[in-house]
């Protein structure tokens, strides 16, 4: 189960994720992000309440990073120790801007 | 696209191909030793005044035996100093033939390598790759295949060196050889394939997956798919699934979403080649209205009939995935022969057949029995090959590689007329030896595929980690299913892998019995892990069309990546 909460302010879109970003929920997040990026120059993914991220979820983040690399920037905030460990070992820590 | 023009073009091309294919199958395969000896002696004669030819006295060589005595077996590092000078513009070093381009290899088995693309070598590729393939299609596939274009996944680029020579993928040079340049080339390829030049020779930063899939989806009349590796097909079909809404919206409106990475000039140029297609978009929407978990290829392209590319050679897993999840049965496959940037050694034996037939006029090939190691006195020619035996290829190509150790091992499966048929087995230096038992990638693949079949697992991909952190050492199998598996009888799975690995490599069982190796461990990977790995490699600049699957984990980065993405299992 994943809850996606979006907050748009000017050209900044913040997406708060709660729950599990896995094979089942990744397509939903992908749809939400891709449908909301028009005019967005700064994308913030808040993972404070994200409990789990799978390969499918990482693919969505990578796709978002690719888009934002072109039209602005993306950062991932409030990364828990568990999620950070995944970012570290998969090499995502070198790709994403993590705060 | 006017299908009459496509039909005419395919008709002409495949007519020529059919003649070339028949000449090969009926004439060349009857006298392989005569032809390949003739080729070798001609190569020696033509190149006797090169620096390499003088060094090894090519002028005095008049037989295969002389050649084997006087010219050493080499590896890339032996040729590298010559190739560096050649790239700087020096001529007549390894070859006397004309070239203005160097093919760059994928670097699958090490750092990228360069191979001069001589005119003679490119003729070999044209005849035995392209023409032969279309000859087989014409001979074996329903003639309706000519009524529509192919969905091509190729993309290639090259760079110009200070010497004026180019290095990169050969396809990037083709427009230079066509009268009329890029526009004429674009028109020509779009007669045969759905993709425009912007997809085949992409500008830096262009999303080639979007270009290829967008133009293919626009065309309902696609008849087949032409690719380098079958793994790339999976990548493209998955891309369509992941981006279907965006693609359909763009097709409907005749636009290109701002979310697609394209340099401005490429976007502008592509927009001139598309127009709104609301009817096609509606048709696609209907097909995908309940999602993508259907065999959708025959619905999107109702006359889809063939796929060509490397489907054997370690890519069999993807061949199955394509059938099970995208196309269903009934598609004709023409699996490429054994080919590489260094040259071409064999051609497809027919349709839906992983065997390929050695091509005696395409290269002079010697065969080193794998058990002979580096004792090259054991090297034999194709008339001495034994069915069922495995040999490493030592090649002499038309690009100036003389007795070059390819590190590819093949098994002889039979004969077509007097010419051996072979199948690729494994890369010699990628055999894994936790206990000197020589486990090949093919053996690992056999064990995984048979286990998945026995245990009803829908296999998407797999990789293996040779685990030396435990005593005795063991293989850790990481199996990626198509759909998430969180509960499974892992003990039974482990036993099945063990049994099948012993069947694939009996020496493994001996090593286990002697306590040199432990039973393998098995884990499930999360779905899409291999796609994620490829996405990341491409993000970091790797060429999508040259990426091969990670069958054996070779370094710490890969180990951490794959092991951290194992599926959490319920008790």
* Per-residue confidence in pLDDT tens, chain B, 571 aa: 677 888 888 888 889 999 999 999 999 999 999 999 999 999 999 999 999 999 999 999 999 999 999 999 999 999 999 999 999 999 999 999 999 999 987 654 455 789 999 999 999 988 998 889 999 999 999 999 999 999 998 888 888 999 999 998 877 777 676 777 778 788 888 899 999 999 988 888 888 999 999 999 999 999 999 988 888 898 899 999 989 999 999 999 999 998 888 999 999 999 999 999 999 999 999 999 988 889 999 999 999 999 998 877 667 778 888 998 999 998 999 998 888 889 999 999 999 999 999 999 999 999 999 888 889 999 999 999 999 999 999 999 999 999 999 988 899 999 999 999 999 887 776 667 787 787 888 889 899 999 999 999 999 999 999 888 888 889 999 999 999 999 999 999 999 999 999 999 888 898 898 888 899 999 999 999 999 999 998 888 777 776 778 888 878 889 999 999 999 898 7
- Alpha-carbon distance of B361 to B375, in angstroms, equals 26
**Residue B269, Cα to own-chain centre: how many angstroms?**
30
User: Which pLDDT tens digit goes with each residue over A22-47?
Assistant: 999 999 999 999 889 888 999 999 99
Instruction: Tell me how close the Cα of B263 comes to any Cα of chain A, in angstroms.
Output: 10
Work out the angle at residue B318's Cα, subtended by the Cα atoms of residues B312 and B323, and round it to the nearest 5 degrees: 105
State residue B280's pLDDT score: 97
Instruction: Tell me how close the Cα of B526 comes to any Cα of chain A, in angstroms.
Output: 6
DSSP-assigned letter for residue A42:
E
What tokens does B440 get?
Answer: 């090949």
State residue B407's pLDDT score: 84
- Alpha-carbon distance of B463 to B554, in angstroms, equals 10
Instruction: Tell me how close the Cα of B367 comes to any Cα of chain A, in angstroms.
Output: 41
Adjacent-strand bridge partners of B432: B439
Domains of chain B: 11-120+338-428 (no CATH), 431-564 (3.30.300)
E strands, B220-349, are 224-229, 306-310, 332-335, 339-340, 343-344, 346-348
By CB neighbour count within 10 A (0-12 exposed, 13-18 middle, 19+ buried), where does B115 fall? Answer: buried
Beta carbons of B528 and A62 less than 8 Å apart: no
Residue of chain B nearest A28, judged by CA positions: B242
State residue B108's pLDDT score: 46
Phi-psi bin for B52: left (phi > 0), alpha (psi -120 to 50), beta?
alpha
Beta carbons of A62 and B564 less than 8 Å apart: no
**Residue B81, Cα to own-chain centre: how many angstroms?**
28
Cβ-Cβ contacts under 8 Å between A and B: the total is 65
What tokens does B371 get?
Answer: 């058990």
Instruction: Tell me how close the Cα of B257 comes to any Cα of chain A, in angstroms.
Output: 10
Beta carbons of B532 and A62 less than 8 Å apart: yes
Beta carbons of B526 and A31 less than 8 Å apart: no
Chain B residue numbers with beta carbons less than 8 Å from the beta carbon of A31 are 245
Beta carbons of B560 and A85 less than 8 Å apart: no
Residue B41 CB neighbour total at 10 angstroms: 18
What tokens does B216 get?
Answer: 């293919």
User: Nearest-CA neighbor of B337 among B364, B305, B362, B312?
Assistant: B312
Q: Which residues of A touch B (CB under 8 A)?
A: 22-24, 30-31, 34, 37-38, 54-56, 58-59, 62-63, 65-67, 70-71, 85-86, 89-91, 95
- How many percent of chain A have pLDDT more than 70? 100
User: Nearest-CA neighbor of B364 among B43, B20, B25, B30?
Assistant: B43
B341, B103 Cβ separation under 8 angstroms: yes
CA-CA-CA-CA dihedral for B535, B537, B539, B543, to nearest 10: -100
State residue B477's pLDDT score: 97
Residue of chain A nearest B484, judged by CA positions: A23
Residue of higher predicted confidence among B317 and A99: A99
Beta carbons of A23 and B526 less than 8 Å apart: yes
B345, B359 Cβ separation under 8 angstroms: yes
DSSP-assigned letter for residue B567:
P
Three-class secondary structure assignment of B445-477:
HHHHHHHHHHHCCCEEEEEEEEECCCCCEEEEE
By CB neighbour count within 10 A (0-12 exposed, 13-18 middle, 19+ buried), where does A52 fall? Answer: middle
Domains of chain A: 2-98 (3.30.750.24)
State residue B283's pLDDT score: 97
- Alpha-carbon distance of B83 to B71, in angstroms, equals 18
Residue B332 CB neighbour total at 10 angstroms: 17
What tokens does B534 get?
Answer: 């490829």
E strands, A24-82, are 42-53, 73-77
Beta carbons of B536 and A85 less than 8 Å apart: no
Asked if the ipTM is above 0.90, the reply is yes
């Amino acid at each position: 189960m994943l809850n996606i909460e979006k907050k748009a302010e000017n050209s900044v879109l913040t997406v708060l994720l709660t729950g599990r970003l896995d094979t089942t929920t990744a397509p939903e997040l992908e749809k939400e992000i891709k449908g909301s990026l028009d005019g967005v120059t700064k994308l913030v993914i808040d993972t404070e309440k994200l409990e789990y991220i799978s390969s499918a979820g990482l693919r969505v983040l990578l796709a978002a990073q690719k888009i934002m690399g072109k039209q602005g920037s993306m950062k991932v905030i409030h990364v828990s120790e568990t999620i950070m460990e995944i970012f570290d070992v998969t090499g995502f820590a070198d790709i994403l801007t993590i705060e | 696209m006017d299908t009459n023009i496509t039909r005419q073009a395919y008709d002409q091309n495949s007519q020529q191909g059919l003649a070339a294919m028949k000449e090969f199958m009926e004439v060349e395969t009857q006298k392989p030793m005569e032809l390949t000896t003739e080729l070798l002696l001609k190569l020696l004669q033509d190149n006797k005044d090169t620096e390499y030819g003088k060094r090894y006295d090519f002028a005095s060589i008049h037989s295969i035996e002389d050649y084997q005595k006087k010219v050493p077996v080499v590896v890339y590092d032996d040729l590298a100093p010559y190739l560096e000078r050649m790239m700087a513009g020096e001529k007549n070093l390894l070859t006397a033939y004309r070239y203005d381009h160097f093919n760059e290899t994928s670097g699958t088995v090490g750092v990228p390598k360069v191979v001069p693309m001589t005119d003679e070598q490119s003729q070999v590729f044209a005849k035995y790759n392209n023409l032969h393939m279309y000859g087989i299609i014409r001979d074996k596939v329903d003639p309706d295949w000519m009524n529509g274009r192919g969905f091509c996944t190729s993309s290639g680029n090259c760079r110009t060196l200070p010497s004026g020579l180019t290095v990169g993928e050969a396809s990037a040079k083709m427009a230079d050889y066509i009268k009329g340049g890029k526009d004429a080339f674009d028109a020509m390829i779009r007669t045969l394939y759905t993709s425009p030049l912007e997809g085949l020779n992409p500008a830096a930063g262009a999303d080639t997956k979007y270009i290829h899939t967008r133009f293919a989806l626009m065309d309902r009349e696609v008849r087949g798919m032409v690719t380098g590796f079958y793994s790339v097909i999976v990548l493209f079909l998955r891309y369509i699934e992941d981006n279907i809404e965006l693609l359909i919206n763009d097709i409907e409106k005749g636009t290109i979403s701002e979310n697609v990475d394209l340099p401005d000039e490429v976007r502008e140029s592509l927009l001139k080649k598309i127009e709104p297609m609301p009817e096609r978009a509606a048709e696609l929407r209907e097909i995908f209205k309940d999602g993508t978990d259907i065999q959708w290829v025959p619905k999107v392209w109702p006359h889809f009939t063939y796929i060509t590319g490397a489907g054997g050679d370690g890519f069999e897993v993807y061949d199955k995935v394509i059938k099970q999840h995208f196309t269903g049965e009934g598609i004709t496959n023409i699996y490429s022969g054994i080919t590489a940037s260094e040259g071409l050694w064999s051609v497809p034996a027919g349709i839906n057949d992983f065997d390929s037939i050695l091509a005696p006029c395409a290269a002079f090939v010697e065969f080193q029995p794998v058990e002979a190691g580096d004792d090259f006195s054991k090297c034999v020619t194709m008339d001495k090959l034994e069915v069922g035996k495995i040999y490493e290829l030592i090649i002499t190509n038309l690009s100036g590689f003389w007795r070059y150790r390819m590190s590819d091992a093949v098994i002889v499966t039979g004969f077509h007329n007097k010419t051996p048929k072979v199948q690729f087995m494994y890369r010699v230096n990628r055999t894994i030896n936790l206990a000197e038992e020589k486990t090949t990638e093919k053996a690992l693949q056999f064990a995984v595929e048979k286990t998945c079949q026995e245990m009803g697992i829908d296999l998407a991909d797999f990789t293996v980690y040779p685990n030396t952190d435990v005593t005795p050492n063991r293989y850790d199998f990481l199996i990626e299913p198509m759909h998430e598996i969180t509960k499974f009888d892992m003990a039974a799975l482990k036993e099945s892998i063990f049994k099948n690995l012993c069947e694939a490599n009996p020496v493994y069982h001996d090593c286990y019995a002697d306590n040199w190796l432990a039973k393998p461990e098995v884990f499930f990977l999360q779905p899409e892990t291999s796609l994620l790995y490829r996405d990341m490699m491409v993000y970091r600049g790797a060429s999508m069309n040259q990426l091969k699957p990670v069958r054996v984990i070779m370094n710490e980065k890969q180990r951490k990546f794959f092991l951290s993405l194992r599926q959490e299992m319920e008790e």
